[in-house]
Amino acid sequence: MTVSPSLISADREAEFLADWAVHSRFGAVEGTNGVDRQAASAADGQQRKWFEDLLVKHGFSVHRDAIGNQFGLLELVPGAPYVLTGSHMDSQPTAGRFDGAYGVMSSAHACFAVADELRADPSKAKFNLAVVNWFNEEGSRFKPSMMGSNVFTGKAELEAALTTRDAAGTTVAEALDAIVPAALLGPPEDDGALAVCGAGSGPVQRDRRIAGIGGVGVPLVDVEARALDRSHDSTHVRGMVSLSHRLSYRWHRWR
């Protein structure tokens, strides 16, 4: 498939890297390239507000569901399903800055590129776009992990999750209320296509067909992506940005 030149450009990659540099400051651990922004912590609240502003700047509406999943929605075709892509921004106490957060940020920028192209030619639009920041995927503050995505997909009960306490005795509901009020509107209810773009801190992942997330089976194109840890430089990031833009060209055509 030929990728539209408008989806990949030096300007777009420069914009991504600039946003990435800003985002990496939230919860930054002094003396390292790592971060500490556990679920519903002050650093998590700060990054969520910044990410909300970024999404709004690009024309997306932002909503938070009851378990704290953060959604950026762009309706291009009223009544059409959403293509949902993203990952998580919460971290372990001493995490690499790419883990999870790269998946959200690259997904957002891929959607920004697709949105610009579809706004220029609305006849190409078949689906709506959505970016997600799952709540408490790491599970370092509140057990278990994958809390937000499991509640969203029905694999976990909302009430049980909200009453879960951290080591200090604070419940999920209390922690969420402290950093961001619940929005009046939740995420799209249509179970349209789901794409996942994430970065871990393990070895190179090669030709993996991701079978599901949070219990949802999703067909994905096979990709080769180098997993990054806190020590790698932006040269590798640029390659992954280009990959996310190439994938974005396919995401908005899925069903």
Dihedral sign from CA coordinates of 119, 107, 134, 207: positive
The CATH number given to whatever domain includes residue 206 is 3.40.630.10
- Least Cα distance to 148 among 172, 171, 170 occurs for 172
Relative to beta strand 216-217, strand 212-213 is antiparallel
pTM above 0.85, yes or no: no
Distance CA 93, CA 90 (A): 10
Which one-letter DSSP state was computed for residue 2? P
The structure tokens listed for 170 are: 């604070």
Relative to beta strand 82-88, strand 194-196 is parallel
Q: How many domains does the chain have?
A: 1
Which one-letter DSSP state was computed for residue 127? S
Tens-binned pLDDT, residue by residue, of the chain (255 aa): 455 656 778 889 999 999 999 999 999 999 998 999 999 999 999 999 999 999 999 999 999 999 999 999 999 999 899 989 999 999 999 888 898 999 999 999 999 999 999 999 999 999 999 999 999 999 999 999 999 999 999 999 999 999 999 999 999 999 999 997 655 456 666 455 555 444 443 333 323 333 333 333 333 332 333 333 333 333 333 444 444 444 433 333 332
Dihedral sign from CA coordinates of 127, 227, 10, 1: negative
Segments forming the whole domain that contains residue 209: 5-251
- Least Cα distance to 229 among 207, 196, 203, 206 occurs for 203
48-63 per-position pLDDT tens digit: 999 999 999 999 999 9
Q: 61-84 in b/e burial notation, b at 16+ Cβ within 10 A?
A: ebbbbbbbbbbbbbbbeeebbbbb
Helix (H) or strand (E) holding 236: helix 234-251
Relative to beta strand 216-217, strand 194-196 is unpaired
176-229 per-position pLDDT tens digit: 999 976 554 566 664 555 554 444 433 333 233 333 333 333 333 323 333 333
